[in-house]
């Protein structure tokens, strides 16, 4: 076995190891360890992707060299390696873009716990991507749920606490349905490894043995993961979870967590149930209908919303509907379009959330849409990032969202009976997306009488200097020499921190924009990765 084939196991263990190390340090050190090891994991995933691209094959990694049923297995192919690399990229950029909010929203002695949860979140997602065992998948689904709740609650407000409780309740419902489905699969087949289950499922489907229990199992697993992915009408937990948590949490939850559950569903469809068996069930029609309705309802909810981050959260309901519509088409082309939209939406939605935080900060912390007038002038980088993300979500040519929407339209042509509803849903949703995104884009560039602040560095430095200067003012209003020296040192540290924050924020915005343009213009390499990956996915 080549050493590169150990990457799936090492990347999962490294993320868990990062959580352990992060628990022993504080502040900037915790952030550096979390981001640094995530970059290493991303590099390892890119190495694995390069190896698998050349070989064009997938392989099974036996954990501990003990075969089933005593051992466990990981399975890696091009699609898994590509997804793992993408998750690492999104996490690094989300943490960079939200570093200032993490410092402001969290108490200093609790910042390390935030990065512990982020490490556990990534470890669980990588395990979901690579695992070849159903029970292991369930275990890491629960770890993912706990980590996500921790990221939501870290801001410590009444709104985030309520959002975390709502998320936990809905997520446990989804996990419960998934667990029941896994138990039924084990009862019917006697296996937990995905490849072994698929062999038995094909036999059962051919002989029509356990027809009703098999259909029930497919429905339980699909609806369970749909709940956790926030597919309409199971999306009620999403606006609060995304809208009230700190911006890095919003970016990671919308771009990583929901996509991880959808990826797990695709693995189960191809590797456990079988694409043909799933396409022949009525469950696929339900997912198709829920996806199309969600595209419209999510957009209408976003139009009615007055809070910027909650508006973006409702937009995610619509975008998740796109992905399930692609799955519901029931062809490799439809699933490929859905997979491409996973990448496009993750890159665009994280960008929009990160940019929104800069616009809110430039508006004095106000998140109501009507209070954002002129914010694009006061924070030019955030304004540019928001517009770029909005254009992608609308589906303007040259951006990632246009490429995936075009693929959905092309995939629907394979099934003539689905072409009309797909085209109508795409048209209506695109118009609605334009209404609520362009409303904000135009408003932030509506001039007002607030003086301009060049980029984000000025805003960071002003806030830090004011906060620290007050502490060094004597009651009489006269500064001693020691006070002047202390203030100079404090202001120097604050200025250095502000510059570092602004550089990290700028890097996140610019790299997210570049990623969007890459997905929108250079579609063939990514599409080829998806198509080749789906061929060997099962």
Count Cα neighbours of 264 within 13 Å in the Cβ-side half-sphere.
32
Q: What digits encode the pLDDT tens for the residues 123-171?
A: 999 999 998 888 889 999 999 999 998 888 888 778 888 888 888 899 8
**Does pLDDT of 195 surpass 50?**
yes
Q: What digits encode the pLDDT tens for the residues 465-481?
A: 444 444 444 444 444 55
Nearest of 275, 361, 317 to residue 100 by alpha carbon: 361
Q: Is the peptide bond before 69 cis (omega within 30 degrees of 0)?
A: yes
- In 330-480, where does DSSP find H-type helix? 332-362, 375-378, 380-394, 400-412, 416-444, 457-469
Q: What digits encode the pLDDT tens for the residues 319-359?
A: 999 999 999 998 888 999 999 999 999 999 999 999 999 89
- Burial state string for 93-115 with b = 16 or more CB within 10 A and e = fewer than 16: bbbbbbbbbbbbbbeeeebbbbb
Q: So what's the pLDDT on residue 326? A: 92
Which sequence spans correspond to the domains of the chain? Answer: 1-178+231-269, 282-538
Average pLDDT over residues 291-318: 91
Please answer whether residues 256 and 91 qualify as being in contact, where contact means their C-beta atoms are separated by less than 8 angstroms. yes
Sign of CA dihedral 351, 356, 357, 361: positive
Q: What digits encode the pLDDT tens for the residues 83-134?
A: 999 999 999 999 998 888 888 877 777 778 888 999 999 999 999 999 888 8
- Burial state string for 481-496 with b = 16 or more CB within 10 A and e = fewer than 16: eeeeeebeebbeebee
In the chain, pLDDT over 90 holds for what percent of residues? 39
Give the global pTM: 0.86
**Does pLDDT of 455 surpass 50?**
no
- For residue 387 the two structure tokens come to 């517009």
Q: What digits encode the pLDDT tens for the residues 370-398?
A: 888 888 888 899 999 999 999 999 989 99
* Cα separation, 351 vs 500, whole angstroms: 19
Within 10 A of 207 (CB to CB), how many other CB atoms are there?
A: 9
* Cα separation, 420 vs 407, whole angstroms: 15
Q: Which residues have C-beta within 8 Å of that of residue 145, sequence separation ≥ 6? A: 168, 171, 172, 175, 228
What is the overall mean pLDDT for the chain?
84
DSSP string, 409-445: HHHHTTSHHHHHHHHHHHHHHHHHHHHHHHHHHHHHT
**Does pLDDT of 74 surpass 90?**
no
């Amino acid at each position: 076995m080549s050493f590169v084939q150990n990457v799936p196991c090492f990347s999962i263990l490294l993320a868990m190891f990062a959580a352990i190390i992060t628990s022993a340090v504080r502040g900037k050190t915790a952030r550096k360890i979390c981001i640094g090891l995530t970059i290493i994991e991303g590099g390892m995933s890119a190495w694995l992707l390069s190896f698998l691209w050349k070989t064009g094959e997938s392989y099974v990694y036996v954990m501990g060299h003990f075969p089933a049923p005593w051992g466990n297995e990981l399975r890696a192919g091009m699609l898994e390696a590509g997804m793992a690399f993408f998750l690492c990229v999104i996490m690094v950029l989300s943490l960079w873009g939200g570093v200032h909010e993490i410092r402001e929203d969290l108490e200093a002695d609790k910042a390390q716990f935030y990065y512990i949860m982020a490490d556990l979140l990534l470890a669980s997602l990588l395990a979901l991507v690579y695992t070849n065992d159903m029970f292991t998948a369930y275990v890491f689904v629960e770890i993912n749920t706990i980590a996500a709740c921790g990221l939501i609650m870290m801001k410590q407000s009444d709104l985030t606490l309520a959002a975390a409780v709502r998320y936990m309740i809905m997520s446990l419902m989804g996990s419960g349905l998934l667990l029941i489905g896994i138990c039924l699969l084990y009862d019917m087949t006697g296996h937990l490894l995905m490849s072994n289950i698929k062999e038995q499922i094909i036999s059962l489907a051919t002989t029509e043995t356990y027809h009703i229990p098999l259909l029930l199992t497919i429905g339980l697993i699909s609806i369970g993961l749909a709940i956790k992915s926030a597919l309409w009408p199971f999306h009620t937990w999403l606006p609060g979870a995304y809208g009230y948590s700190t911006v890095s949490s919003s970016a990671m939850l919308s771009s990583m967590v929901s996509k991880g559950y959808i990826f797990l569903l695709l693995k189960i469809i191809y590797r456990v149930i079988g694409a043909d068996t799933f396409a022949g069930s009525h469950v696929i029609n339900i997912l198709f209908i829920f996806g199309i309705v969600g595209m419209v309802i999510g957009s209408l909810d976003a139009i009615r919303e007055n809070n910027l981050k909650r508006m973006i959260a409702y937009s995610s309901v619509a975008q998740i509907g796109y992905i399930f519509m692609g799955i519901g088409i029931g062809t490799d082309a439809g699933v490929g379009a859905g997979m491409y939209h996973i990448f496009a939406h993750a890159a665009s939605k994280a960008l929009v959330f990160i940019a929104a935080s800069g616009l809110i900060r430039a508006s004095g912390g106000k998140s109501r849409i009507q209070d954002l007038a002129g914010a694009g002038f006061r924070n030019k980088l955030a304004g540019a990032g928001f517009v770029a993300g909005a254009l992608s979500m609308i589906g303007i040519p040259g951006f990632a969202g246009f490429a995936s929407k075009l693929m959905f339209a092309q995939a629907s042509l394979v099934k003539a009976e689905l072409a009309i509803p797909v085209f109508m849903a795409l048209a209506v949703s695109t118009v609605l997306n334009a209404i609520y995104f362009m409303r904000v884009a135009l408003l932030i560039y509506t001039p007002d009488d607030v003086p301009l602040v060049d980029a984000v560095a000025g805003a960071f430095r002003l806030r830090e200097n004011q906060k620290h200067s007050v502490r060094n003012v004597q009651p009489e209003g006269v500064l001693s020499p020691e006070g002047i020296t202390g203030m100079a040192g404090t202001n120097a540290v604050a200025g250095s921190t502000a510059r570092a924050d602004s550089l990290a924020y700028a890097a996140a915005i610019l790299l997210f924009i570049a990623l969007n343009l890459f997905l929108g213009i250079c579609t063939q390499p990514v599409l080829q990765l998806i198509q080749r990956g789906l061929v060997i996915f099962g």
